[in-house]
Amino acid sequence: MSKPHPDGAAAEDQTGRFVTQPNGRPRPLSPHMQIWRWHVTMAASILFRVTIGAASVGAVLVTAWLGAVAFGPGAHAAVTGFMGSPPGLLIGFGLTVVLFSFFLNGARHTINDTGNGLTPKTSNLLSWISVIGPVVLAAGFWAALMGAPA
Amino acid sequence: MSAHRYREGVKVSERHGAVEWLTERAALVALLPLSLWVASSAFTLAGADHAAVMGWFARPLNTGLSVATIMILSVYAGLAWKVIIEDYIHRPSSKTFLMALSNLTFLLLTATAVFFIVRLHVGSAPLPAGFGI
């Protein structure tokens, strides 16, 4: 039941510049990063999507760790040893950044979903907290962990 | 394209979308305190030896919250990936394939994690015990 529309080429477009709506008319694609002028609210928004993607990978890694524990002390010790090495610590730090990003950016998203915090001043502040906060909290987490008695 | 179906004057697809939106919001609200609990658990378990980790999972609260976290995260991340795929993939066959792949991945991930967590909780012998290998 699609109607003819002015730009027939858009319907065949696979370059990603246009999509065809259910009424048969073309519309430009959803916002892509290169279309928007940089702003911190945009950065917080796309970083939340990145965070969810990274959290999905994190869930796989945590499940692998659960598996190592389930396979016994030998496998668990191997994973613990790797996590103490430089690449392991880098992964560990990244996972805590993702975790705190999920918390802070998720809180921002939830506040905005209730219709609050949408004035330019507040949305900028919440976005800056969501972008910078995770790194600060992760640094604090690791400082406390390294400083804690073994 | 099939005609839109209506129920009580509202498009069925719109009701479906509203339910998905509410599910996303409810899951995210549940995950916020859980993420702080995960951070505190990671702090406790980082560098802990095997016996200490087994002792941690022996506590019902830790097991229950672990299972809740992986289940709610999978529901939330599955819906989030659906939105991301819908936004950036426009070839219908690719879209269907990727969504099925995403749902299957999170289903398998949840099942695997719950399987391990339950074994740790009941203190099963190290794998592959019980599989006759």
**Three-state secondary structure of B35-80:** HHHHHHHHHHHCCCCHHHHHHHHHCHHHHHHHHHHHHHHHHHHHHH
Distance between A42 CA and the closest CA of chain B, angstroms: 15
Together in a domain, A76 and A108: yes
pLDDT per residue as tens digits for the range A89-125: 999 999 999 999 999 999 999 999 999 999 989 999 9
Nearest by Cα to B69 from A67, A131, A63, A23: A63
- If one counts every other C-beta atom within 10 angstroms of the C-beta of residue B115, the result is 15
Together in a domain, A44 and A60: yes
Together in a domain, A143 and A74: yes
> Which among A66, A103, A145 has CB closest to B113?
A66
Burial class (CB in 10 A: 0-12, 13-18, 19+), A1: exposed
Check which CATH number belongs to the domain holding A138 and give it. Answer: 1.20.1300.10
CA distances from B129 to A65, A66, B63, B126, B133 (A): 18, 16, 21, 6, 7
C-alpha angle A135/B117/B37, rounded to 5°?
35
Together in a domain, A17 and A85: no
Q: How far apart are CA B90 and CA B25, in angstroms?
A: 25
CB contact under 8 A, A96 and B1: no
Together in a domain, A23 and A83: no
Say what the pLDDT of residue B126 is: 87
- A107 vs B: CB within 8 A: yes
C-alpha angle B4/B98/A107, rounded to 5°?
85
Residues in chain A with CB shorter than 8 Å from the CB of B13 are none
Together in a domain, A131 and A91: yes
Together in a domain, A109 and A129: yes
Together in a domain, A56 and A101: yes
Mean pLDDT of B95-120: 97
Together in a domain, A70 and A9: no
CB contact under 8 A, A99 and B32: no
Tell me: pLDDT of A14 over 70: no
Tell me: pLDDT of A65 over 50: yes
Mean pLDDT of A47-65: 97
For an interface test with A, give the residue of B62, B85, B87 to mutate (most A CBs within 10 A). Answer: B87
Average pLDDT, chain B: 92
Q: Which long-range contacts (CB under 8 A, 24 or more apart) does A106-109 make?
A: A106/A48, A106/B28, A106/B31, A106/B32, A106/B35, A107/B32, A108/A44, A108/A48, A109/A48, A109/B28
Together in a domain, A83 and A137: yes
On the question of a cis peptide bond just before residue A87, with omega within 30 degrees of 0, the verdict is no
Residues in chain B with CB shorter than 8 Å from the CB of A143 are none
What's the number of domains chain A is made of?
2
Tell me: pLDDT of A10 over 90: no
Residues in chain B with CB shorter than 8 Å from the CB of A53 are 81, 84
> Which among B32, B47, B127 has CB closest to A103?
B32
Together in a domain, A17 and A60: no
Task: Give me the domain span that covers residue A20.
Answer: 1-30
DSSP A3-28: PP-S-HHHHH--SSSEEE-TTS-EEE
Residue of A nearest to B32 (CA): A103
Write down the residue that tokens 């406390």 correspond to. Answer: A144
- A96 vs B: CB within 8 A: yes
In contact, B50 and A69? CB cutoff 8 Å? yes
pLDDT per residue as tens digits for the range B26-67: 999 999 999 999 999 999 999 899 999 999 999 999 999 999
Say what the pLDDT of residue A2 is: 44
Together in a domain, A80 and A54: yes
Domains of chain B (ranges, CATH numbers):
6-122 (1.20.1300.10)
